[in-house]
Every structure is written in structure tokens, then in C-alpha cells.
């Protein structure tokens, strides 16, 4: 049962992340301009798979980290201020329930709640 749930939830999570990124790419006319650049993460591999702008002008990033948590590509959520300054919070989680919580959190952040 756990394996079949895993086989459904994980692809659903990646589908939501892909749709979020593809909406940003498709909605941008022409070549996008870089407004600012900032690096987050540790000494190992860390990947942001999806980025949304929050209602407060900041950004929420969802991805995976090998630098923090159990060190096995754990889910990583990061909230940053408008121009990348400061790191109001970040969170690392492991497990299927974490993936579901992360998807719900990103949807709520996108809606400004």
C-alpha cells in the first residue's frame, strides 16, 4: 500500500512543480531579464525545481537538498524576501507526507494565504 501511494504522490508532486515552472516560462514574452541573482544551499547538491512569487513580494522556492536534512535529496522549501535579501525561513522534510504538505503550502502561498 505504501509503495503504491508513493508511486502516485511523487509523480503528482513533480507534475505540479513542472506546471508551475512551465507557466512562468510560457507567460514570459521574449527573453527574460535577470533582475537579481542569489545562491542558496550548502556544500553538496541543492536544486530549486519551482519558484513562485508570494503576495508579500518575496518568493517561495521548492526543490531538493543533499546538503541538509538526512542528506538524501530531501524536500527543501525556502522563503526569501523581494530581491533575495534575507532568508525569512527554510524547511527540510523527508517522506511522502512531506511532499503532500509541500504541494499544499505552495498552492496556498501562490493564492496569497
Q: What is the mean pLDDT of residues 22-37?
A: 63
Query: What pLDDT shows up at residue 100?
Result: 67
Alpha carbon distance 1, 92 (integer Å): 25
Measuring CA to CA, which residue among 62, 55, 58 is closest to residue 20? 62
pLDDT tier at 85 (50, 70, 90 boundaries)?
Answer: low
| pTM greater than 0.75 (yes/no) | no
Per-residue pLDDT for 107 more than 70? yes
3-state secondary structure of 73: coil
3-state secondary structure of 101: helix
Q: Which three cell numbers stand for residue 29?
A: 514574452
The tens digit of pLDDT for each residue in 31-46 reads 778 777 777 777 777 7
Measuring CA to CA, which residue among 44, 84, 48 is closest to residue 66? 44
Alpha carbon distance 56, 54 (integer Å): 5
For residue 72, the 8-state DSSP code is S
Amino acid at each position: 500500500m505504501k509503495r503504491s501511494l508513493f508511486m502516485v504522490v511523487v509523480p503528482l508532486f513533480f507534475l505540479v512543480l513542472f506546471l508551475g515552472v512551465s507557466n512562468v516560462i510560457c507567460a514570459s514574452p521574449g527573453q527574460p531579464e535577470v533582475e537579481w541573482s542569489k545562491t542558496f544551499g550548502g556544500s553538496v547538491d541543492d536544486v530549486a525545481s519551482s519558484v513562485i512569487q508570494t503576495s508579500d513580494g518575496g518568493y517561495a522556492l521548492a526543490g531538493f537538498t543533499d546538503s541538509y536534512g538526512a542528506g538524501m535529496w530531501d524536500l527543501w522549501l525556502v522563503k526569501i524576501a523581494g530581491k533575495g535579501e534575507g532568508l525569512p525561513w527554510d524547511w527540510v522534510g523527508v517522506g511522502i507526507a512531506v511532499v503532500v504538505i509541500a504541494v499544499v503550502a505552495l498552492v496556498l502561498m501562490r493564492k496569497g494565504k
